[in-house]
Structure 1
Amino acid sequence: MTPLTPFVTIIIPAWNEELRISDTLRALQHCIPAHEGISRHEIIVVDDGSGDQTYQEAWPWADRIIRHTKRRGKGAALSTGIAEAKGEFLIFLDADLQDTARYAPLLLNPLLNQDADMVIAKLPAPWKPAGFGFVKRLASKGIYRLSGYKPSAPLSGQRAIRASLLDQVGKLARGFGFEVGLTIDVARLGCRIAEIDVPFRHRESGQDWQGLYHRGYQLASVGSTLFRKWREY
């Protein structure tokens, strides 16, 4: 089967990422044009109401920057980017991957070879103790019970998907439940999901109060998304 050579859109939601986003975008601008399977590409950054210099740091490296006047959540930022994307394939990446963003083309290979409709990155184990795994277990069990698909990386935000597939899925979640809701919708459609090991690294939240707050917010978003998907089922 002849591999595809599509137009690819990379969408990066960002909130207060002035210290990391320029390194992430610089790595992408070097690796994406070098990938022989990509004919054209664009990088869209959605600044989700940042209160720092995220916009200024991203400006030299992004093809487009869209600004929310106030913080609306990760899922809303991704939805904004999706609405503006021109690519046939979309890649979703976190803003804090820095130099490891150079591995982004690995997410495309199963799509280019027509072996999958959505690809999810499985990241290496964290360097330091993180949370207690409750949010991941909730997400994994919820996805399985609502779609029949058993995910290895249910919370991974590093993904690639066929743009046409998003026209078929349900309403996209606005917060940190975005990935969980998307996985359920794609699995319910009977589409092919591939999970592959990619050595991305991003900022890790520990077991301090800041980390606990982040996971609490994530837990609420995932729980809300699972409840909404259960009602749709």
Structure 2
Amino acid sequence: MSKEYKHQKMTVTIEPANLSIILPCLNEAQSLQPVLSQLKTHYPDAEIIVVDDGSTDESAEITAQAGAKVVRHPYSKGNGAAIKSGVRAAKGDYLVFMDADGQHDPKDIERLLAELAQGYDMIVGARGAKSQASFGRFCANSFYNWFAGWMVGHPIADLTSGFRAVRADKFKEFLYLLPNAFSYPTTITMAFFRAGYSVAYIPIVAHTRIGQSHIKLLRDGIRFLLIIFKIGTLYAPLKLFGAFSVGFFSLGLGYYTYTYTMGGRFTNMGVLLFITSVLIFLFGLVSEQITQLLYSRKE
């Protein structure tokens, strides 16, 4: 089955060899059968790849029985590692990533692909407040979205969504950057924005997952934040260091104003804060130059 998505001057034809649907999987035997059944119904000719990340249940057997392609890890390497294995095995020019736990509706794939046909390089299914697993996770995701959007200079509706459609050639450019853990959506989103690729979001409803979540809020939340800082220092170091520099300069100015008003003097602490501000700015400036050299060499 082939489908055409048309938008003004641009037409994207999705033939069976052009679409690969990748599902990372870790002990999802309860949900795999209905998910794969729906995918086969809506996209019978698409390449469906389930990456079994060291499951100890019947996930691999269920996948094989459903007629999908199985890529197996001998042990659990992480969600990001499963995504990378799936991409390396995929033959399609367009890739769709979705969870194997029943949260994502296969019917929404057509909406992602239709939007991709408008000239975008990646379309992300953005979850609303009602689709968040808990209030704590909603607050954490809201902060991640704001912080990452500030870093890349573009609004980000859902930084951590695992439901997205991308052009394979663009995605593979950043495959080496993806971490092996649960933060591949964070890295690929920020990388696409920094590279100047077009990213758009469409609202989706994420259903309650079948089975137990493998994400730990505190552990993986800290990991997501570290990934944002890592990508920020890699792609926009001056923006990150500049913010800290302004912060220390403001502290120094405030402290100097206080000591001068109260005692008519300029203390060593004030000097230290000003010097720290200058040093942090210089670190950011040097890092920015190194980043530009790396990009120039790559181009």
TM-score (normalised: structure 1): 0.85
Contact 1:172 1:178 in 2 (8 A): yes
Contact 1:45 1:62 in 2 (8 A): no
Q: Does the CA-based 8 Å contact 1:46-1:77 persist in structure 2? A: yes
Whether the aligned pair in 2 keeps the contact of 1:48 and 1:77 (CA below 8 Å) is yes
Kept in 1, the 8 Å contact 2:10–2:119? The answer is: no
What is the CA–CA distance in structure 2 between the aligned matches of 1:4 and 1:200, rounded to whole Å?
27
Structure with larger RCO (C-alpha < 8 A, sep 6+) = 1
Which amino acid in structure 2 is aligned with residue 87 of structure 1? G
2:216 alignment partner, one of 214, 217, 222: 214
Indicate the RMSD between aligned Cα atoms, in angstroms. 2.4
Q: 1:37: which partner in 2? A: none
Of 176, 201, 204 in structure 2, the residue corresponding to residue 195 of structure 1 is: 201
Which among 14, 22, 27 is matched to residue 11 of structure 1?
A: 22
State the shift of 1:168 in Å: 3.0
2:232 to 213, 230, 233: 230
SS at match of 2:48: strand
Structure 2 regions of 5+ residues with no counterpart?
A: 1-8, 236-299
Alignment check: 8 A CA contact 2:131 2:206 kept: no
Highest Rg: 1 or 2? 2
> What are the Cα deviations for residues 73-130 of structure 1, in whole angstroms up to 9, with x where unaligned?
111100110111110000000001278323322211112x233110000235238744
Amino acid corresponding to residue 80 of structure 1 in structure 2 = S
| Count of equivalent residues | 222
Structure 1 stretch displaced more, 163-172 or 178-187: 163-172
Q: Contact 1:32–1:105 at 8 Å: present in 2 too?
A: no
Structure 1 residue runs without a partner (length 5+): 34-39
Q: Answer yes or no: is 1:29 the counterpart of 2:48.
A: no
Measured after TM superposition, the shift of residue 211 of structure 1 is 6.7
Aligned partner of 2:200: which letter?
A
For normalisation by structure 2, the TM-score amounts to 0.68
Q: Is the 8 A contact 1:47 1:66 kept in 2?
A: yes
2:50 aligned partner = 45
**Alpha-carbon displacement from aligned partner over 1:17-68 (angstroms, at most 9, x marks no partner):** 00001111110111124xxxxxx52001000111111111221224310111
- Normalized per residue, which structure has more helix? 2
- Indicate conservation of the 8 Å contact 1:22/1:98, yes or no: no
Q: Cα–Cα, structure 1 residues 51 and 15, in superposed 2: closer, same or farther, change >3 Å?
A: same
The within-5 A match list for 1:52-201 is 52-97=57-102, 100-111=105-116, 113-124=117-128, 125-126=130-131, 129-169=134-174, 171-201=177-207
Instruction: Show structure 1 runs of 4+ deviating over 4 A.
Output: 127-130, 210-213
Partner AA of 1:20 in structure 2: S
